Amino acid sequence: MPVKLTQEEAEARCLANGYQWPEGFVYEGSQKKYPLICLKCGGNRPKKFNDVVRAGCMDCATNAWRLTHDEVVERCLAAKYPAQLLEPYKGHCGVKHLYRFLECGHEWEITPNSLWERRGCGECFFDQGPTYVYLMEHDDLNAYKIGITPVGLKLWRSRIRQHERKGWTLVHKIELATRKEALGLEKAIVDSWRAQGWPAGVTAEQIDKGHGETVSRKHVNKQHLIYSLDSCNTDLNDSEKDAGALTA
């Protein structure tokens, strides 16, 4: 039968193989796991005593191929859809990180692996398809706000949800087939407000962005605003149909 090592012999064998014995732990046999401290990297992943001789440090092996933060940043900027990493690298290419895409300026969460596989901005992908035009109100600011957001986004990514977290309440929304149509409707509504002499309902200091798409509630009531949104959408659709008929 193999002779059990003494505490001193166990500690000496660890030291000879590049490990420091953890303080407060008693050697109880070669098949027990101990949080041995690697003298090279400082890792202390629990391992069987026998593995000290048979295998090296798992943390050292992992760090040998793991990319550094700077290496990840460099590769992301060189991708087909270059993007700037906005947070510290989390140590794994399969974990989502927040990026700002250089071509569109959108911020989007994506894994480094997906980015390197030539996948681009998710918001731009959704922006090509169906889009909501929404109307919201804010009691404290006494204002209405119009805006657009892609259909199909996860709830927390939706601009509607982002505004709700800041005190805005959804009043009405319309789904249009494309982002271009939604932008046209949004612009037509804002232009109508300004044509009637109604200025922005809030200042740039009161909200982060989008103050130019607001109007004070003292100028118009909710039902009239909803009616105007629906009517303007109908008028724009009729105009497009007439234009299509003329060019046919």
pLDDT digits (tens, 9 = 90+) for 139-158: 999 999 999 988 887 766 78
Are residue 138 and residue 220 in the same domain, yes or no? yes
Mean pLDDT of 171-177: 92
Q: Alpha-carbon distance 57 to 36, whole Å?
A: 10
Measure the CA angle with vertex 129, ends 77 and 226; round to 5°. 120
Are residue 201 and residue 110 in the same domain, yes or no? no
Task: Kindly give the interhelix angle for 222-247 and 179-195, rounded to the nearest 10 degrees.
Answer: 120
Q: How confident is the model at residue 191 (pLDDT cuts 50, 70, 90)?
A: very high
Q: Evaluate if pTM is beyond 0.75.
A: no
Q: Which of 100, 124, 148 is the last residue of a domain?
A: 124
pLDDT of residue 49: 80
Q: What share of the chain has pLDDT > 90, as a percent?
A: 27
Residues 6+ apart with CB under 8 A from 35: 22, 25, 44, 45, 46
Beta bridge pairs of residue 169: 137
Are residue 76 and residue 58 in the same domain, yes or no? no
Q: How confident is the model at residue 16 (pLDDT cuts 50, 70, 90)?
A: confident
- Within a domain: 98: yes
Are residue 120 and residue 206 in the same domain, yes or no? no
- Within a domain: 1: no
Buried b (16+ CB within 10 A) or exposed e, 196-206: eebebbbeeee
Are residue 134 and residue 242 in the same domain, yes or no? yes
Q: How confident is the model at residue 243 (pLDDT cuts 50, 70, 90)?
A: very low
pLDDT for 104-117, tens place per residue?
Answer: 888 888 888 888 87
Sign of the torsion angle spanned by Cα atoms 206, 210, 211, 216: negative
Mean pLDDT of 1-7: 73
Domain housing 147: 128-247
